[in-house]
């Protein structure tokens, strides 16, 4: 089952809202939103002028009312408008302006489910008008509703229970315009600095979202990933630590993904498990990450907590949502292997060479900038040099990296966008670090990476 959310409210308990399917309707929603924001700015500004105060545009734009309007409208639109917010967020408020963190926090919640009539039309288009005759049971109340689709339970005539992810209508066709329009809106509100060129990230977001909106591709990635996990590695049996649902081909199309339904709980329940269970789960996830980059050359690049669930009875992690799975080029994997070993042996020269190979730095950067980047890189890898279990719960690594990252930008004027492969590798690892801290896990990172560490 995919796109489960890490929230307490069930989608079936919320009122449904139709997904604006046409491009014109979606542009209209954003235009209406811009109008509301402008109206609030004028109203608030006039009130301040009458009180003899000088209005500040940024403060007028980012009022609680406007923040709420932005978040609610993007969540209601679903699709790329909502997914873009999730894509640039790792559930780390320390890295984001407070106003943007509020908006993105809303976008990480379950979306409003689409009405039954719209769901019926979507399924009839994918499966044919008589699809209900071919199923023993189908629950019209979704068990999850997220940015690109919502999930329903179904039972086939032979008794197989399925999780069926149904894509919202119009999502695929509106990806490019959604991202362009939302990016314009975010820029206008001043949530990102004007000097920051986010266009490469936006173009990569379009590519990824088009892939995520192709459910036949996701089914292929899911099957390929499961085969790789079943192979395992020398350190541990990955297959015994993880469960990956099997796809159900007869009901899978480009807009509907059917797979086996696996009973499991949200990852938050892990916080109540004993220390050794949390440590074991987090260790398995770290070993899986190293396998993704160095063995599989296939990365599930979205670290959203909703993509993991937990089976408390067997202590297994259920892996969900493979739409964001991307192949890692051999050259990138090789360069990151060098980076890993240079960090493990505190070899700054080798780390700099690896960073050049990856594209984290280039010839346009001064030695001062390069030294600052290397300092951050070496500090980010301190867990791999630690002897024995590294206590993520007690570590302030995330805060230290944030402070150094801000200094790199402001003090050293370092504005550089690494290759997309590097961005997604870092995003996945950053998400795992944040999860390890949330679980207060202790992980022996040297042991987890031992298969790839040179003596």
Structural domain contains residue 122: no
Nearest to 177 by CA among 77, 90, 254: 77
Do 180 and 290 lie in one domain? The reply is no
d(CA 26, CA 170): 9
Q: Looking at residue 292, what is its pLDDT?
A: 96
Do 335 and 190 lie in one domain? The reply is no
Q: At residue 100, does pLDDT exceed 60?
A: no
Band of residue 173 on the pLDDT scale cut at 50, 70, 90:
confident
d(CA 441, CA 390): 8
Do 188 and 294 lie in one domain? The reply is no
Q: At residue 283, does pLDDT exceed 80?
A: yes
d(CA 25, CA 119): 18
Mean pLDDT value of segment 340-344: 95
* Cβ–Cβ under 8 Å, residues 3 and 144: yes
Do 315 and 432 lie in one domain? The reply is yes
* Cβ–Cβ under 8 Å, residues 262 and 243: yes
Structural domain contains residue 426: yes
Which tens digits make up the pLDDT trace of 207-222? 888 898 999 999 999 9
**Which tops the pLDDT comparison, 305 or 99?**
305
Do 281 and 192 lie in one domain? The reply is no
**Which tops the pLDDT comparison, 448 or 42?**
448
Q: Looking at residue 56, what is its pLDDT?
A: 37
* Cβ–Cβ under 8 Å, residues 325 and 225: yes
Do 181 and 275 lie in one domain? The reply is no
Among the residue ranges 21-25, 118-122, 325-329, 408-412, the one predicted with the least confidence is: 21-25
Structure tokens at 146: 């997220």
Q: Looking at residue 373, what is its pLDDT?
A: 87
Structure tokens at 427: 């995003």
Q: Looking at residue 43, what is its pLDDT?
A: 43
Q: Looking at residue 71, what is its pLDDT?
A: 56
Structural domain contains residue 24: yes
Mean pLDDT value of segment 238-264: 94
Domain that holds residue 83: 17-109+176-196
Do 184 and 330 lie in one domain? The reply is no
Band of residue 452 on the pLDDT scale cut at 50, 70, 90:
very high
Band of residue 93 on the pLDDT scale cut at 50, 70, 90:
very low
Beta strands (DSSP E) in 255-306 are 256-260, 265-266, 298-300
Domain count, the chain: 2
Percent of the chain clearing pLDDT 90 (strictly above): 45
* Cβ–Cβ under 8 Å, residues 40 and 65: yes
Helices 79-87 and 98-107 sit at what angle, rounded to 10 degrees?
130
Q: Looking at residue 185, what is its pLDDT?
A: 63
Structural domain contains residue 153: no
Q: Looking at residue 50, what is its pLDDT?
A: 43
* Residue at which a domain ends, from 150, 166, 196: 196
Q: At residue 427, does pLDDT exceed 60?
A: yes
Do 181 and 300 lie in one domain? The reply is no
Do 105 and 184 lie in one domain? The reply is yes
Mean pLDDT value of segment 417-430: 85
Which tens digits make up the pLDDT trace of 348-379? 999 999 999 998 888 888 888 888 889 889 99
d(CA 75, CA 107): 6
Structural domain contains residue 134: no
d(CA 27, CA 43): 24
CA atoms within 13 A on the CB side of 226: 17
Which tens digits make up the pLDDT trace of 174-191? 788 777 776 776 666 555
Band of residue 7 on the pLDDT scale cut at 50, 70, 90:
very low
- In sequence order, the β-bridge partners of residue 390 are 443
Q: Checking DSSP bridges between strand 316-319 and strand 242-243, what pairing results, if any?
A: parallel
* Stretch (H or E) spanning 144: strand 144-145
Do 343 and 426 lie in one domain? The reply is yes
Band of residue 145 on the pLDDT scale cut at 50, 70, 90:
confident
Which tens digits make up the pLDDT trace of 78-87? 444 445 554 4
Q: At residue 9, does pLDDT exceed 90?
A: no
Band of residue 235 on the pLDDT scale cut at 50, 70, 90:
low
**Which tops the pLDDT comparison, 55 or 254?**
254
Structural domain contains residue 411: yes
* Residue at which a domain ends, from 196, 226, 246: 196
Q: Looking at residue 305, what is its pLDDT?
A: 81
Q: Looking at residue 410, what is its pLDDT?
A: 63
Mean pLDDT value of segment 411-434: 80
Nearest to 426 by CA among 303, 324, 309, 284: 303
Distances (CA, A) of 13 to 72, 111, 117: 17, 12, 17
Q: Looking at residue 59, what is its pLDDT?
A: 40
Structural domain contains residue 240: no
Do 183 and 280 lie in one domain? The reply is no
Q: Looking at residue 350, what is its pLDDT?
A: 96
Do 445 and 319 lie in one domain? The reply is yes
Q: Which residues of 52-88 are buried (b: 16+ CB within 10 A; e: fewer)?
A: eeeeeeeebbbbeebbebbbebbbbbbbbbbbbbbbb
**Cβ of 237: how many Cβ atoms within 10 Å?**
13
* Stretch (H or E) spanning 155: strand 149-156
Q: At residue 159, does pLDDT exceed 70?
A: yes
Which tens digits make up the pLDDT trace of 11-65? 555 555 555 444 445 444 444 544 444 444 334 433 433 444 433 334 434 455 5
Mean pLDDT value of segment 62-71: 53
- In sequence order, the β-bridge partners of residue 151 are 144, 165
Q: Looking at residue 361, what is its pLDDT?
A: 86
Structural domain contains residue 233: no
């Amino acid at each position: 089952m995919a796109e489960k959310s890490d929230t307490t409210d069930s989608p079936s308990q919320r009122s449904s809202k139709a997904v604006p399917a046409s491009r014109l309707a979606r542009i209209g929603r954003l235009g209406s939103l811009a109008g509301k924001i402008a109206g609030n700015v004028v109203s608030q500004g006039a009130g301040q002028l009458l009180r003899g105060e000088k209005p500040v545009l940024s403060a007028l734009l980012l009022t609680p009312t406007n923040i709420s309007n932005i978040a609610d409208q993007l969540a209601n639109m679903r699709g790329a408008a909502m997914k873009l917010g999730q894509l640039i967020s790792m559930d780390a408020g320390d890295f984001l302006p407070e106003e943007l963190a509020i908006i993105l926090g809303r976008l990480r919640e379950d979306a409003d489910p689409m009405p039954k009539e719209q769901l019926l039309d979507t399924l009839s288009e994918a499966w044919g008008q008589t699809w209900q005759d071919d199923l023993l049971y189908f629950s019209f109340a979704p068990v999850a509703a997220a940015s690109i689709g919502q999930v329903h339970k179904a039972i086939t005539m032979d008794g197989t229970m399925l999780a069926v992810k149904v894509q919202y209508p119009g999502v695929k066709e509106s990806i490019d315009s959604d991202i362009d329009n939302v990016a314009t809106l975010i820029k206008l509100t001043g949530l990102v600095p004007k000097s920051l060129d986010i266009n490469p990230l936006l173009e990569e977001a379009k590519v990824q979202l088009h892939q995520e909106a192709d459910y036949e591709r996701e089914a292929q990635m899911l099957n390929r990933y499961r085969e790789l996990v079943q192979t395992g590695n020398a350190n541990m049996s990955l297959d015994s630590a993880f469960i990956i649902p099997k796809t159900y081909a007869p009901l899978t199309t480009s807009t509907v993904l059917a797979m086996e339904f696996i009973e499991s709980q949200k990852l938050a329940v892990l916080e109540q498990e004993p220390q050794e269970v949390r440590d074991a789960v987090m260790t398995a996830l770290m070993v899986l990450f190293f396998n993704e980059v160095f063995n599989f050359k296939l990365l599930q690049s979205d670290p959203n907590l909703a993509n993991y669930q937990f089976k408390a009875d067997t202590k297994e992690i259920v892996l969900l949502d493979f739409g964001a799975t991307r192949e890692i080029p051999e050259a990138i994997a090789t360069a990151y292997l060098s980076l890993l070993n240079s960090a493990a042996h505190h070899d700054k020269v080798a780390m700099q060479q690896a960073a050049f190979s990856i594209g984290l730095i280039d010839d346009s950067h001064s030695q001062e900038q390069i030294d600052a980047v290397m300092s951050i890189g070496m500090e980010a890898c301190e867990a791999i040099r630690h002897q024995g279990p590294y206590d993520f719960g007690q570590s302030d690594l995330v805060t230290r990296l944030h402070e150094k990252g801000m200094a790199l930008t402001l003090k050293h004027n370092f504005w550089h966008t690494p290759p997309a492969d590097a961005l997604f590798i870092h995003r996945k690892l950053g998400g795992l670090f944040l999860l390890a801290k949330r679980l207060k896990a202790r992980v022996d990172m040297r042991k987890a990476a031992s298969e790839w560490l040179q003596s």
